[in-house]
Every structure is written in structure tokens, then in C-alpha cells.
A and B are shown apart, each in its own frame.
Chain A
Amino acid sequence: MRRIRIFTAIATATALLAAGCGTADDSATPAPGGSGGALTPIKLQLQWFYQAQFGGYIAAVDQGFYKEQGLDVQLLEGGVDIVPQTVLAQGKADYAVAWVPKALASREQGAGITDVGQIFGRSGTYQVVWKDSGIKTAADLKGKKVGNWGFGNEYELFAGMTKAGLDPGKDVTLVQQQFDMQALLKKEIDAAQAMSYNEYAQLLEAKNPQTGKLYTADDFSIIDWKSEGSSMLQDAVWANTEKLNDPAYQQQTVKFLTATIKGWAFCRDNAEKCRDLVVAKGSKLGKSHQLWQMNETNKLIWPAAGGIGVIDDAAWKQTVDISMTTKNQTGDTVLTKAPEGLAYTNDYINQAITAAKAAGVDVNGTSFQPATVTLTEGGA
């Protein structure tokens, strides 16, 4: 009898725990949208957690731009071990956001994916140094300790150093950098890799223990790979190459891109509103940080002379050239040969731009003026 009671106790305890988990699940999975019966479900794989870097997609979902096009878009957050272009190639998502060099490397490994919209026309990668170090250009990095993230994030840095006449393997000490900026603040390294929209802002949100105030942009210098001529294309929308033969998927791609353009134009014109949408998605990064990120992201897109998302041949060529020629510290290049097959196409984005223009959307943002964002401690 006692034994039965014990087992009942165990069973009840387990059931309670399982039930606890079950309720947590309910709040985690969003309820499927009930309106509009004929919406096509679409999954878009992002590179990371919700943040303003993906503001345009979030806005297009929230403002109903995708719904207007008959699409029910579900955004999939990234994670440490989630590779968007692989998720796309495996058919677990319909589109993915990925950096061009990394996606090209996956293509070479057999992933059948095509760049259908180069949303970020510019690279946001910096190498940040202390102003008093006197480092101003890539050539000044000689003999310094240079932090980099590795994992394919390092090629702009290596190409920049190579271009400046340095041998990255010999002339600098390379240091594997964490995804925070502590190493630079502690002066363990002389130059730290940073994205303009994220890690650089984190520096400006940290308190200088000597003054008790936040660090300012005057404390640091930036080596910007755009001006060093070694920048590579970053966030782009990738589609499944094989499915692009299907007229239905082609049409869907145009619709998806049209709504995406609208989303990004919305974030350009309503940066603060867009920031609020991102924050409402449960981002753990603070409001001022997200507004900074929104503003910096906008700078990477706008103004877009050829129209948002159109792949610039020269920038593409530069990305591919660097991918094939620049060696990292282990002597590897991103690509061993030129991309084969349909690596990119402007067919769909051009149709989408025409559609967006017809709907009265400014697809060039010629008059775009970045805002001045004041960061608060911790970005809160």
C-alpha cells in the first residue's frame, strides 16, 4: 500500500512539472493569425535574436505589409548553433537572412541558395581602437594585438590588412575575441572587431571608471573597412535556388521582397516606432541601444542609389574577390573558386521595387538623414 502511495507521489510530481512546462510553452509559441484565410505561410530565418538589425522584417510583419501581399510570415530567431543559410537549404525555412561571404561558403559546400535581395548595401564592420593609441588606418595595426571573432567574420579585417601591405600571419598578433568589448576596455588587445550597430554602441554604454561617466566617441578611433576598400556585402535575403524555377515561388519571392522593402522604408521614416516594435518583441537589449542599432542599420541601407536590395555588381565582385584571395590565419580562403550557378539575381528585387514604387514607397531614400542617438548606461 505504501509503495503505491509513493509511486502516486512521484507520478503527481512529474505530472506537475510537465504541466508547468506545458503552460510555459503556451506563452512561447505565438498564436497563429486567424484573419485572412488564404494567406501563404512563410518562414524567414534570421541570423540572431530579435533586434533592430532585423527591424524591417519585424515592421513588415507588424504593420501588415506581408499580409497585404497574401503572406503570413513567421520570423525564426537565430541561435548560437543556427546557420540561417543551412536552415534554408534544408528546406526548414522559405527565406533566410545571411551575410554574403558566409552564404557563398555554404553554397560551395552544396547549399542551393540564391541572393535575391541585398538589403544592406554597406558593411557595418569596424575595427575599434583607443584614440590615444595613434592607430588610424589598417597599416598602423602592424605589431599590435588585433582582436577578431573568427568563424568567417574576420575576412574584411584580413583583406584590409593585406591591402595595407601587412602579412596578417606575421605582422600582427591575432587574438580570438569574445562577442563583447571587455578585451578592448581592459586593453588586452589594441584593436577590437565591432559592428557599428551593436558592439560599438556597447562601448559607448560602458562607464569609464576613471571619470565615472560613459565613454564617448572621442575616446575611440574607428577603422572602417568601407573606407579601407575591403568591405564585403552583409545582410541579404536568400532564397532556395531550385524552388526559384517554380513560377509560384518566383511570384511569392517578389511579393515577399515588396513587403520587405516597405518594412525597411517604414523603419527609415519611423525609426523610433520601429524601435518600439523590436522592443515589444521581447529584446533584452535596451531602448537606447535598439534606437542606435535602428539608426546604424538604416545607414547601411539608405540612401540606396540603385534602389534597396539591388545587388551592385562592383560590390559583389569585391566580395567574391576577397572571398577567393584573402587568407585567414590558418591559410584558408572563404571560397576556393568563383561561385557557380545562380549565386545572385536582381530579377525579383527589381520587380519588387517596381511594385513598391507603384504603391508610393520611396525605394531610394535619397533624402535620408541619420539621427543622432544618445546612448544611456547599459543601453537601457
Chain B
Amino acid sequence: MRKLLYAVVGLVVAVALWEGYKAVGNPDGTVLFGVRVLPRADDLSMPHLWTVLERLGRPELTGGRPVWIVVVRACLFTLGITAVGFVIGAVVGLLLAVVMERFRIVERGLLPYVILSQTVPLVALAPLVAGWGGTIMPAWAVVSLIAAYLAFFPVAVGMLRGLQSPSASGVELMRSYAAGWWRTLVKLRFPSSLPYLFPALRLAGAAAVVGAVVGEISTGTRGGVGRLIIEYSREATSDPAKVYTAMLGAALLGLVVAGLVSLLELPLMRHRRHVEVVTL
């Protein structure tokens, strides 16, 4: 109940900030020494929120479906892509973490590359994999792959720390029971890594959404909200509110994914203490 209240308050604050800036901001923006420090507040750059909402209700094109239906369908499509990317990324991340925990030499050799992988800009990566679409896999799978590429990283790093988190005495106790590596992993390391895993999964969820949206934009994959953003932004000249409807959809998608990921942790974390973990 209280959470809901906070969410509503947050929304009201965001609305107030947007409309407040529109009311007091300079329609031509504020320029200091030739550098724009504050954005323009005119209707072309920042349409009124009610204009955006009203645009959601009107048809996309004459005689077409209302924009909100188009946006919701696009978001569902992207949600599917994100989910596949998230699952692939999480599984790959988990496996990497387990292997790195098991073999110290692998951790030493692999971890730098895992980190390096995230410094490769998406714009460089996307054209390389874009061509796989339609040949060795369907076009949407390429986008999932890009999402997975971003999603595996927080899981791999977070999970590795989690697996290494049991105290030495815990590990020694397992050894005194003559428990092997597998048993130690299942009975001790996995349970104690959960508080590390879930924040990592949340990061992975967010990364997968970004990967899916950006991947759609860069490969032009039809059907998702990323493509919708780029299509609507071409009409920004004459219909600026339309762009924001698609962006609203993308933001909503991010929230939904974050919500779904935290649902995963509810049953597993019920009796556990939450710890703040910085994985990045």
C-alpha cells in the first residue's frame, strides 16, 4: 500500500517537473556562452503531457488503430525479445560464474574479457550480428542476442562474488563433511549467493531492455518498440507528441521487466536478509 503511494507520488513529481519546466522555462531554451544548458520548453520540443496522452487515444494514421494499442503491442513484442535475451544472458552468466569460481585460472583469464566485452560499443557490434538475421536465425533472435550480450555481464560478475561469499569456516565445514565440489556448490555456495544474484538479475533485466530496444533500432527489426521510436521520431517535425508515446511505452516496458524480475526473487528471498550489493 505504502509502495503504491510512493509510486503515485513519484509520478506526480515527474509530471509537475515536466509541466513546471514548461511553464517557467524559456521556450527558446537557455544558452550560456554558446552552449545550451537548459532545453527548449516550446511545444515542439516538449509537448504538454495531456497532448501526449491525447495522442495515445487517437489513431496512428487516418483510419488506423489508436496509438496506444500499437505501442502496447510493440512493447509486448519487445518484452518477448527481452525475455529470451534475459534468460540466455542469465544462464550464460551463471555458467561463467560457476566455471570461474571452480577454476581460479579461468577466473584470472576470463574475467578481464568479460569486463572488456562491455566496453565494445553496441553500435559497433550490431551491424556485425545484424546480418545473421534471416540466414542462420530469425531477425528477432539477433536482437535477443544483443540483449543477452548486455545481460550476461552483471550476472556473471555478481554471481561470481556470490559464489565466493561463503566464509572460510563454512567451506571448511563442508570439507569436514567430505562434501565434494558439487555438493558444496549446491548446499552452500548457491544459497549464500542468492542475495548477490538478485540485484545482478535486476541489472541484467534493465540491460536486456536497453539491448533489445537499441538492437531493434540498429537492425531495423520490425514489430518492436525500438523500431516504433525510430519511425515516430521521423515524424517529430509535424507530430512531436507521437515520439513521446513510443518513449513512454519503452519506459513502461523497463518498469514491467523490473517488476517481473523482482517477482522471481519473492519466493526465494522470503526468509533471507536483503543485502545491498554493488556489482558494477
Contacts and interface: CB of A to CB of B under 8 A. Distances in A.
Chain A contact-residue range equals 35 or more
B84 A202 contact: no
B24 to A, nearest CB: 19
Chain B contact-residue range equals 35 or more
A185 B239 CA distance: 13
B131 A379 contact: no
A282 to B, nearest CB: 7
Contacts of A79: 130, 217-221
B76 A284 contact: no
B83 A21 contact: yes
Contact of A18 (B87, B233, B237): B87
A199 B139 CA distance: 29
Nearest to A86: B127
B139 A17 contact: no
A14 B79 contact: no
A22 B221 CA distance: 15
A10 interface: yes
B267 A21 contact: no
A129 B127 CA distance: 35
A76 to B, nearest CB: 7
Contacts of B28: 186
B187 interface: no
A17 B264 contact: no
A182 B237 contact: yes
Contact of B268 (A6, A29, A86, A202): A6
Interface in A33-73: 48-49
Contacts of B217: 79-80
Contacts of B134: 76
B176 interface: no
B138 interface: yes
Interface in A228-269: none
B233 A180 contact: yes
Given A18-B80, A286-B62, A207 B238 contact: yes
A10 B139 contact: no
Interface string B72-87: 0000110111011001
B236 interface: yes
A5 B232 CA distance: 44
B48 interface: no
Interface stretch (B13-21, B38-46, B111-119, B155-163): B38-46
B190 to A, nearest CB: 11
A287 B222 contact: no
Contacts of A205: 237-238
A182 B236 contact: yes
A87 interface: yes
A181 B237 contact: yes
Interface string B207-230: 000000000011111110000101
Contacts of A180: 233-237
A209 B44 CA distance: 10
B12 interface: no
B228 to A, nearest CB: 8
Given A180-B236, A203-B237, A287 B61 contact: yes
Contact of B222 (A2, A6, A77, A285): A77
Given A10-B264, A28-B139, A203-B237, A20 B231 contact: no
Given A17-B80, A92-B131, A49 B220 contact: yes
Given A6-B268, A80-B217, A82-B219, A20 B76 contact: yes
Contacts of A25: 138, 140
Contact of B127 (A48, A83, A206): A83
B219 A90 contact: no
Given A78-B220, A79-B221, A380-B61, A21 B84 contact: yes
| Closest 9 A/B residue pairs (Cβ) | A79-B220, A21-B80, A17-B83, A205-B238, A206-B238, A284-B231, A81-B218, A202-B237, A180-B236
29 contacts: A6-B267, A9-B267, A10-B264, A13-B260, A13-B264, A17-B83, A18-B83, A18-B87, A20-B76, A20-B80, A24-B223, A28-B140, A76-B134, A79-B219, A81-B127, A83-B127, A87-B131, A179-B233, A180-B233, A182-B44, A185-B44, A202-B237, A206-B237, A209-B43, A282-B222, A284-B235, A285-B235, A287-B61, A378-B235
Given A76-B134, A78-B220, A81-B123, 6 more contacts: A14-B87, A79-B217, A80-B220, A81-B126, A86-B127, A180-B233
